[in-house]
């Protein structure tokens, strides 16, 4: 046999073998595909049966809740609705992933649509009741403003609009039942003839009809247990001061509502505000008034907060200026805004606060320590506790001065004779004697520097005062 004849024969045999394999494979493909689809469909049905059982239980919970809502308390109704929403969304999410691998006839899409529509219906029901009753979807956050700390108030919903919304909820549930029924039929007609349990979600519920929905809305609006309660209070005895009060001397008991704080130029107050109502309290104003007991005009500071139902928060108000050795009446007021002021006047708490006087100054050095009797020269006084100095004296004569810092004062020497003690005074009293606080007036005929005026220059920004007054400069 020639080479070309042998090649032709081999090619013919190979072609026949390929044809045999293809035909045999084709004969086996049909039974294998049907078996695969049966397995997919039945597995899908088993998984959907679990979700359907949960969904049917959810439908029964809804059917029980609807006629009982008007007798529920607001917290109980809010919790029940939140639970329904969370469970319906969970079922819908799980149903959405059961389509891979997809069952026959589009059953997967039908079932996923049904569960998604039920979740939508529950969410729409919750939103309708939120707007009708001014409920607060959980969770609610409590803290100071800004930013917004309580779930936004939904727009109010009229009775007519709420009735129409309930009818739409019923329509969504009816559509979900049709989608589920289509999935059941499709799966039953597919390989494996898998069967899904029936739905127990009821579309004939009275609440979904125009008359039933209107009756339900009227009952909810008239329910005494669902009525909004506004009750924002200031916790009694919970005011805190910054700086904190000092204990009474020798263990004595402090007078009621009267405290003393350390020497300070600023006083801040914090208060605890509680919402004992069942609705959010939004933009509540907390104000402190610090009024000098000398009769001068008070200083006011305020802050707004929003508090969820049953919550509380500590509000620290901006500091107000005070002065040592002075007493103040501190009043903190909580003013709930309309409509939260339905329970009466704003609550308040009052303290009598005395700011302790500072420690007396101490003079360590006067430079230069001598000068002409006519005065007019400038000296530098070094020491401590100068920040709140009220007077500088050479002997018994007041001098004009400038406070440079807590440890330095510049003073203009008044006329005088002999050697005198330089004292610095504040609300705590005058400085005491020290070896460095003496100043000597020189007669014009004595000393090499007689008849001259000694001055000290400074780069600090200063403001000179008249005797018995002082201006702080340069920090």
- The pLDDT of residue 374 is 94
User: φ, ψ for residue 22 (rounded to 5)?
Assistant: -65, -45
- The pLDDT of residue 25 is 38
Question: Looking at residue 246, what DSSP letter applies?
Answer: P
Beta strand 397-405 with 429-430 is unpaired
- The pLDDT of residue 388 is 84
Is the pLDDT score of 136 beyond 60? yes
SS3 state of residue 299: strand
Letter string b/e over residues 250-264, b meaning 16 or more CB atoms within 10 A of that residue's CB: eeeeeeeeebbbebb
From the DSSP assignment, how many helices (H) and strands (E) are in the chain?
5, 20
Name, in order, each residue with C-beta under 8 angstroms of 412's C-beta and a sequence gap of 6 or more: 375, 376, 377, 378, 399, 400, 401, 464
Q: Worst-scoring range by mean pLDDT, 6-20, 155-169, 201-215, 315-329?
A: 6-20
pTM over 0.75: no
Interval 165-186 mean pLDDT: 94
Q: Do domains 232-355 and 358-475 have the same CATH topology?
A: yes
Position 68 confidence tier, pLDDT thresholds 50, 70, 90: very high
Is the pLDDT score of 142 beyond 90? no
Is the pLDDT score of 353 beyond 70? yes
Interval 166-192 mean pLDDT: 93
**264 contacts 322 by C-beta, under 8 angstroms:** yes
Torsion of CA 410, 412, 418, 423, to 10 degrees: -50
Rg, C-alpha atoms of the chain: 44
Q: In the chain, where are the structural domains located?
A: 3-222, 232-355, 358-475
CA 49 to chain centre: 44
Question: Looking at residue 287, what DSSP letter applies?
Answer: E
User: φ, ψ for residue 69 (rounded to 5)?
Assistant: -60, -40
Is the pLDDT score of 13 beyond 60? no
Percent of the chain clearing pLDDT 90 (strictly above) = 53
CATH code for the domain defined by 358-475: 2.60.40.10
CATH topology of domain 232-355: Immunoglobulin-like (2.60.40)
- The pLDDT of residue 469 is 43
CA 251 to chain centre: 40
Interval 121-142 mean pLDDT: 75
- The pLDDT of residue 310 is 83
Mean pLDDT (the chain) is: 82
Position 37 confidence tier, pLDDT thresholds 50, 70, 90: confident
Position 157 confidence tier, pLDDT thresholds 50, 70, 90: confident
- The pLDDT of residue 8 is 36
Is the pLDDT score of 468 beyond 50? no
Structure tokens at 53: 């059982």
Q: Worst-scoring range by mean pLDDT, 18-32, 291-305, 383-397, 404-418?
A: 18-32
Structure tokens at 457: 């220059």
Q: CA–CA separation, 395 vs 401, rounded Å?
A: 15
**299 contacts 320 by C-beta, under 8 angstroms:** yes
- List the Cα angle 125/54/126 in 5-degree steps: 10
Give the relative orientation of helices 210-222 and 107-133 as an angle to the nearest 10 degrees.
Answer: 40
Name, in order, each residue with C-beta under 8 angstroms of 181's C-beta and a sequence gap of 6 or more: 199
Q: CA–CA separation, 351 vs 254, rounded Å?
A: 12
Q: CA–CA separation, 35 vs 39, rounded Å?
A: 6
- The pLDDT of residue 53 is 95
Q: For 231-276, write each residue's pLDDT tens digit.
A: 888 887 789 999 999 887 766 666 778 999 999 999 999 999 998 8
**441 contacts 394 by C-beta, under 8 angstroms:** no
Is the pLDDT score of 7 beyond 50? no
Q: For 442-451, write each residue's pLDDT tens digit.
A: 987 754 444 4
- The pLDDT of residue 153 is 58
- The pLDDT of residue 151 is 53
């Amino acid at each position: 046999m020639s080479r070309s004849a042998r090649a032709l024969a081999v090619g013919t045999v190979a072609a026949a073998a390929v044809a045999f394999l293809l035909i045999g494979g084709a004969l086996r493909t049909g039974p294998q595909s049907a078996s695969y689809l049966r397995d997919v469909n039945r597995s899908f049905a088993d998984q959907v049966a679990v979700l359907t059982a949960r969904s049917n239980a959810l439908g029964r919970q809804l059917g029980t809740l609807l006629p009982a809502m008007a007798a529920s308390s607001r917290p109980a109704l809010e919790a029940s609705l939140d639970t329904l929403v969370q469970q319906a969304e969970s079922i819908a999410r799980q149903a959405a992933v059961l389509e891979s691998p997809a069952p026959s006839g589009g059953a997967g899409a039908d079932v996923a649509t049904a569960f998604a529509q039920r979740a939508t219906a529950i969410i729409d029901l919750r939103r309708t009741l939120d707007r009708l009753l001014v409920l607060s979807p959980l969770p609610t956050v409590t803290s100071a403003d800004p930013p917004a700390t309580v779930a936004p108030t939904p727009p109010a919903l009229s009775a007519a609009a709420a009735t129409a919304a309930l009818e739409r909820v019923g329509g969504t549930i009816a559509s979900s039942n049709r989608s589920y029924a289509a999935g059941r039929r499709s799966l039953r007609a597919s390989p494996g003839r898998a069967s899904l349990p029936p739905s127990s979600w009821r579309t004939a519920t009275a609440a979904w009809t125009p008359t039933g929905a209107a009756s339900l809305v009227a009952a909810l609006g008239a329910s005494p247990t669902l009525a909004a309660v506004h009750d924002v209070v200031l916790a009694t005895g919970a005011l805190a001061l910054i700086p904190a009060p000092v204990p009474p001397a020798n263990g004595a008991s402090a007078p009621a509502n009267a405290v003393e704080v350390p020497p300070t130029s600023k006083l801040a107050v914090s208060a605890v505000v509680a919402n004992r109502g069942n609705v959010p309290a939004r933009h509540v104003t907390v104000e402190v008034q610090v009024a000098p007991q000398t009769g001068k005009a008070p200083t006011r500071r305020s802050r707004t907060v929003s508090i969820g139902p049953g919550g509380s928060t500590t509000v620290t108000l901006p500091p107000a200026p005070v002065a040592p050795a002075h007493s103040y009446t501190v009043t903190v007021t909580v003013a709930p805004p309309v409509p939260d002021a339905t329970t009466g006047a704003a609550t308040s708490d009052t303290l009598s606060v005395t700011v302790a006087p500072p420690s007396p100054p101490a003079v360590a050095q006067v430079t230069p320590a001598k000068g002409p009797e006519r005065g007019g020269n400038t000296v530098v006084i070094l020491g401590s506790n100068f920040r709140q100095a009220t007077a500088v004296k050479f002997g018994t004569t007041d001098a004009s001065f400038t406070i440079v810092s807590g440890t330095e004062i510049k003073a203009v020497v008044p006329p005088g004779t002999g050697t005198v003690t330089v004292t610095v005074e504040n609300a705590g009293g005058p400085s005491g004697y020290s070896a460095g606080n003496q100043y000597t007036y020189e007669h014009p005929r004595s000393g090499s520097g007689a008849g001259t005026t000694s001055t000290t220059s400074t780069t600090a920004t200063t403001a000179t005062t008249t005797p018995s007054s002082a201006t702080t400069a340069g920090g």
